[in-house]
Amino acid sequence: MAMPDSVKTSTEYPIPEKMKAWVLGDPGNLSYEDKAVPVPSRAEVLVRIDAVAICATDLEIIYHGPPAMIEGGLPFNKGFTPGHEYMGTVVALGPGVDEYKIGERVTVEIHAGCGQCKRCREGMYTSCHNYGKNYGDVDKGHRANGFTTDGGFTEYQVNHINTLVHVDDSMSDEEATLVVTAGTAMYGLTELGGLVAGESVVVTGPGPIGLLGVAVAKALGAQPVILTGTRDNRLDIGKQLGADHVINVRNENPVEAVRKLTNGKGVDYVVECSAAPNAVNDAAQMVNRGGKICLAAFPHESPGVDIAHLVRNNIYLYGIRGEGKTATHRAEAFMRQKRFDATLIHTHTFAMSDLLEAIRYAKDRVEDAIKVVVKNDHAVAKNAIAAE
């Protein structure tokens, strides 16, 4: 593909004019189509996508729409490509980019804030005041790949340099897709206090973010780390990732169990990743007076909350969106240092062309799927050569 003269390319990574991409039509309806390869602008690079992990939020977008916002509305039948947890190789540099080199392996954050609003200037780019205002005559520069602009279920995608995280060569493609998930957990713990060494933490819900929340909390020195959930096999993975105690809420009352483990005081922090109907109230009963709760899950309904209990006990409540404040960089450092094995949550891999089957595995938890990854053919071929 002939890129503009202002875009730097390399013959080592030839770029086609067209690429295969999954396009969202009606709710739940994805088709594999040809799309033009995007061209990076100033402060952007073109990433050849090697692997993409399927997130529960992708499923929400594909079947229901929100939290995606395309042209100010629902993402259906607008030529939109979902998918946001991807990694790949830099193959073209937009005008002025010298922070990265062609051929570098990167994983990507979702959000590039506008850089102009109050929140972006504070470093809270996942709370950008110009969320989604990058269509038509309004160009504020905000981008949330897979949410407000095309995402990663394709072969190539543009990314702002602020969203890139270098991936160490010791990481497989599959592991690299998990940096964003670990980054979300890291962001939650950053907002709760950052330095949690010696502090007690409960993580509720052993999904991908919850399991890596256990791993990150333990890597930060939390003691003890308690994980609650309903599936013994996932709780066992939590133990492998550093949980000191696990509680199956089907077998015992989680609040009573946490209180017993902490001599009646409760814990310093709760990271809520379950989206269970009474999760906030349970977390408030688990945490000690003056403790902090981080909400990292999207409940389907608005639950009733005992505000009086929160006020009487001086309990702090935080909500996080995505993996803000460059938390992915810190998560990647932990993973590079092998402080925990994120690959324990990766259960299945499919070819990109088999995305519909991969989504079925993720949606229906076939074979107790946790993190399902899809890979483009060039990445599969590369790995096969490397293994020979």
Query: Residue 203 pLDDT > 90, yes or no?
Result: yes
How many whole angstroms separate alpha carbon 61 and alpha carbon 69? 9
For residue 388, pLDDT over 60 is answered with no
| Per-residue confidence (pLDDT) for residue 196, from 0 to 100 | 86
Q: For residue 253, what are the contacts with CB-CB under 8 A and spacing of at least 6?
A: none
Instruction: Please tell me the predicted confidence (pLDDT) of residue 7.
Output: 97
Confidence band for 335, pLDDT divided at 50, 70 and 90 = very high
- The percent of residues above 90 in pLDDT, for the chain, comes to 88
Prediction pTM value: 0.94
Q: Helix %, strand %, coil % for the chain, to 5?
A: 30, 25, 45
Mean pLDDT in residue range 205-228: 97
d(CA 368, CA 377): 25
Q: How far apart are CA 207 and CA 372, in angstroms?
A: 12
Higher pLDDT, 43 or 302: 43
Burial class from Cβ neighbours inside 10 Å (0-12, 13-18, 19+) for residue 372 reads buried
pLDDT surpasses 90 at 301: no
CB 332 within 8 A of CB 163: no
CA distances from 108 to 166, 176, 235, 309, 341 (A): 9, 9, 28, 39, 20
Backbone angles phi, psi at 59, to 5 degrees: -65, -40
Instruction: Please state the rounded mean pLDDT for residues 105-115.
Output: 94
Tell me the torsion sign for CA atoms 369, 371, 374, 379: negative
Q: Is the pLDDT of residue 135 over 60?
A: no
- Please say if the pLDDT value at position 157 is more than 90: yes
Q: Residue 375 CB: number of other CB atoms within 10 A?
A: 23
- Residue range 321-340: mean pLDDT, rounded: 94
Categorize the per-residue pLDDT at 71 as very low, low, confident or very high, splitting at 50, 70 and 90. Answer: confident
Check residues 141 and 64 and name the one with the higher pLDDT: 64
Contact 49, 86 (CB under 8 A): yes
pLDDT at position 138 is 62
| Per-residue pLDDT at 72 | 83
Question: Domains in the chain, ordered, with CATH?
Answer: 18-110+145-166+341-387 (3.90.180.10), 181-319 (3.40.50.720)
What mean pLDDT do residues 191-208 have?
A: 93
Instruction: Give the ranges where the chain is alpha helix by DSSP (H).
Output: 56-63, 118-121, 173-176, 179-192, 208-219, 232-240, 254-261, 279-286, 307-312, 327-336, 355-364, 377-387
Highest mean pLDDT out of 27-31, 137-141, 276-280: 27-31
Mean pLDDT of the chain: 94
The whole-angstrom separation of Cα 202 and Cα 288 is: 11
Structure confidence at residue 351 (pLDDT): 98
Are 328 and 107 spatial neighbours (Cβ–Cβ below 8 Å)?
A: yes
C-alpha 151/C-alpha 82 separation (Å) is: 5
